[in-house]
Amino acid sequence: MPTPEESLWLNNTVTVAAGQFGPTADKQENLRQITMYVQEAADRDASLIVFPEYSSYFNGRLGADYVANAEPLGGPFVTALGRLAHEHQMHIVAGLVAESEIDDKFSNTVVAVGPDGEIECTYSKVHLFDAFGHRESDWVVRGSLEGPAPAFEVDGVSVGLQTCYDLRFPELTRRIVDAGVELVAIPSQWVGGPLKEHHWNTLVQARAIENTVYVLAAGQSIPHGIGRSLIVDPMGVVLSATGAESAFLSTEISLERIAQVRANNPALQMRRLDVIVPDEGSATQSL
């Protein structure tokens, strides 16, 4: 049985939100949209809001203009996020076109800033979108898996980060869940196409179900993304979702719900690691 202190902690709810919009090459307009949604999140007492991949700059197909518009982590975009987070005492997650050490490429980075206005966590996309006729790796430096899993805490809930195409690689989500993450935030720019919306919904729910965690997937709205942002609980239940246009969504989450689901479905504890962990040297051992 949990102690009285643990019971209070488990029964606490946290309001989380997503701001779905379509970033453009107009950086000030992108920040205006973000500011609008942060204010709405504050009005609803949200502790966390997640924005799409490439929130700082997007102009359709990748090209040299992205490299030219890449910013350092201490640049204007992240500084503006820090001011908003501090003003509203909120955690903000957003996609950044970030500078890299390679002159003709940039880093597809997700940054989380906290209520003190400082960066809490960053994540650079590991699985680049070289599929469905796209070649993200032509312009983007692939992120590394070295170091601890990318995570930070929001009111007692551990939040992990990954990005868009990473959804198709369940081992990445499992890695951060094994590090204690209870909510996975996924900024995305999910490109449309045959069955792509079906893939998006299925994969988001699958990552929640198989890991018994919450998943908050924030997508870009049309014309460059399918929208369809959603927040899913540890049983795969969609708690909040939106359509293709720019929109705001929010819901309450709780550690008690995770505890209930894991009591009924202790799949994480039942894994046969002696069966599923590949032998040393196997090609499937690393991402």
Known catalytic residues are: 53, 125, 164
Q: How far apart are CA 90 and CA 117, in angstroms?
A: 9
CB proximity list for 113: less than 8 A, separation 6 or greater: 78, 81, 82, 85, 91, 92, 119, 120
Structure tokens at 260: 């209930």
- 36-39: list long-range contacts, CB under 8 Å, 24+ apart: 37/248, 38/84, 38/85, 38/88, 38/90, 38/92, 39/88
Quote the DSSP letter at residue 164: G
Length of the chain: 287
Q: How far apart are CA 45 and CA 40, in angstroms?
A: 9
112 close to 81: Cβ distance less than 8 angstroms: no
Burial level of 236, CB count in 10 A (0-12/13-18/19+)? middle
Q: How far apart are CA 124 and CA 251, in angstroms?
A: 27
